[in-house]
Amino acid sequence: MTPMGILHRAIFMTTKLSRRWRPRSLLQLVLLAFVVVMLPIAVLMFQAGQALSQLSTLADQSAREAVEETRRARMLSTLALQMERSARQYAVIEEEGLRDIYDQKVRQFGELLQQHESLMRDNPDFQSLAERYQQLRYLPQASIDDMGAFLERFSGFAAESDAVREATNDLIDMRIADIREQADAVKARLWMQTAALVSASLMLMLFFTWLITRPIRQLERRIFGLGSGECSDTPIRIQGPAELVQLGDRLTWLSGRLSELEAQKQQFLRHMSHELKTPLTSVREGTSLLSDGVAGELNERQSEVVRLIDENGQELQTLIEQLLDYNLLQNSRRMKVTAFDVATVIQEVLSKHRLALDNKGMRVKSPHHPLKWQADRERTARVLDNLISNAIAYGDDGGQLVIRVSNQHDWLVLDVANSGEPIAEADREHLFEAFYQGSVRRKGPLKGSGIGLSVAADCAKLQDGQLALVDDAELPVCFRLTLPWADFPTHGTQYEQYENDAAPDETLPGGDSRKETWSVR
């Protein structure tokens, strides 16, 4: 089996084991991780201690043997000289005491030679020395002829003893070199074991780190999903210590509870918008009939009151429609990509607010030159509608509304600027939050809902664009919408076809000539 196959099998078995076995607590898992990670280190320390103990014993024993063998070899050389001296003294003086001394030296030499035999049995010098010893063991009676022949046998005896001593030293040196080789082998083995066991400890550390951090990462993803609203219907089961599994169950419960609350909120918004819109329609129909004189002619004061009721009813209807738009954006994330003329969309949106602009006395400056673009036409118009409504609500009476549009590479830049009170610094970072009411009050009897800019920002973000408040050289308030050129969906994407307002033979930016529109799901 290849190393990769062994690794995959090990990972598979580990995953299967982790699914079957689960620590009861995070503390238990951490303690187990420490114990298991330290186990290879403990094995390494034990093996190192054993190896060092063996080396120490071997070195101590070898040192004692070397000292003993060196002393014995030196004593053999000394005794060889003493034997020869005693024999020659006996040949001259012929005293029995000298014979006894010689016999004592012979006996000592024989004992040392017998002890040295196990070390140098196969050495030629030692064998020669042993043979010479056998010839010199017994000192003959003192006669000139016998003693002369006997003393001749001592020729080279001391040299043979010295040769044995040198051979002994060589053997000791060889033994020391052998011990050194063994020490090097043990050191190499310890390094290999250290590398293997430390690697095993590191792998175990990584494994237990993964076991500990995996449920934490799962919990982090669950919490991020809850915060971003991307909750899965089938949440992943948290695998890990009991505390984290229990926390995952609590997050599952919280996710379900948030989904219920979100559904209740959406249902409340739908019902409230419908319930408000129904009587409001009746009120506006009634004011329309009164304005048309169906119930009789109205005097100037009555007409003013009816007109005021109608204007506030229309503004209230706008607020309700913004609330419906906000509710729709929270539930629908589909994008309808169309090719359209930006100037045409601007004029259409301005026409919806023509009466309010006239009543406000605002001067409008808008582009009329055609500019073809490809994006979500409906949501782009909704952004414009909210920005223009915001300019009418907060702009000065008799002020100015300026709309600029330009094409910068693959981005559409659209500015909506108006005269009026500048937006305070404290309100800038909260402008696009839903239901946020700034310090600047709307001009009119009806208070705003605070969701117009939030809806506009969401419409821009859905198209991968951006809506921001920017500084303008001419007017104190300027909102800038930037939208990228949206491509039509490729194969593998579900889509729906729509009509668009581009002519069949018009060439769009990028060299494409298209008439169809697609809705990306």
**pLDDT at residue 373, rounded to an integer:** 92
Least confident of 1-10, 129-138, 228-237, 289-298: 1-10
Structure tokens at 258: 């948030």
**pLDDT at residue 9, rounded to an integer:** 65
Angle, alpha carbons 251-255-256 (nearest 5°): 120
Structure tokens at 70: 């060196």
Tell me how far the alpha carbon of residue 205 is from its chain's centroid. Answer: 16
Look at the block and give the residue holding tokens 């419906």: 324
User: Residue 162 in contact with residue 79, Cβ under 8 Å?
Assistant: no
Fold (topology level) of 334-520: Heat Shock Protein 90 (3.30.565)
pLDDT at 133 over 50: yes
Task: Kindly report, residue by residue over 79-115, the tens digit of the pLDDT.
Answer: 888 888 888 888 888 788 888 888 898 888 888 888 8
Q: Angle, nearest 10°, between helix axes 242-291 and 157-228?
A: 20
Q: Is 336 left (phi over 0), alpha (psi -120 to 50) or beta?
A: beta
Q: Which residues pair with 480 in a beta bridge?
A: 415, 468
Kindly provide the b/e burial profile for residues 64-73, where b requires at least 16 CB atoms within 10 angstroms of the residue's own CB.
eebeebeebb
> What does the H/E/C string look like for 425-450?
HHHHCCCCCCCCCCCCCCCCCCCCCC
**pLDDT at residue 353, rounded to an integer:** 86
Highest mean pLDDT: which range of 62-66, 87-91, 385-389, 432-436: 385-389
Note the CATH number of domain 241-332. Answer: 1.10.287
Instruction: Give residue 11's identity as a one-letter amino acid code.
Output: I
Rounded Cα distance between 342 and 372, Å, is 6
Task: Kindly report, residue by residue over 2-31, the tens digit of the pLDDT.
Answer: 555 655 665 566 555 555 555 667 777 778
**pLDDT at residue 402, rounded to an integer:** 94
User: What are the residue ranges spanned by the domains of the chain?
Assistant: 17-223, 241-332, 334-520
How many CB atoms lie under 10 A from the CB of residue 308?
Answer: 12
Q: Do domains 241-332 and 334-520 have the same CATH topology?
A: no
What is the percentage of the chain residues whose pLDDT exceeds 70?
79
Task: Kindly report, residue by residue over 167-204, the tens digit of the pLDDT.
Answer: 888 888 888 888 888 888 888 888 888 888 888 888 88
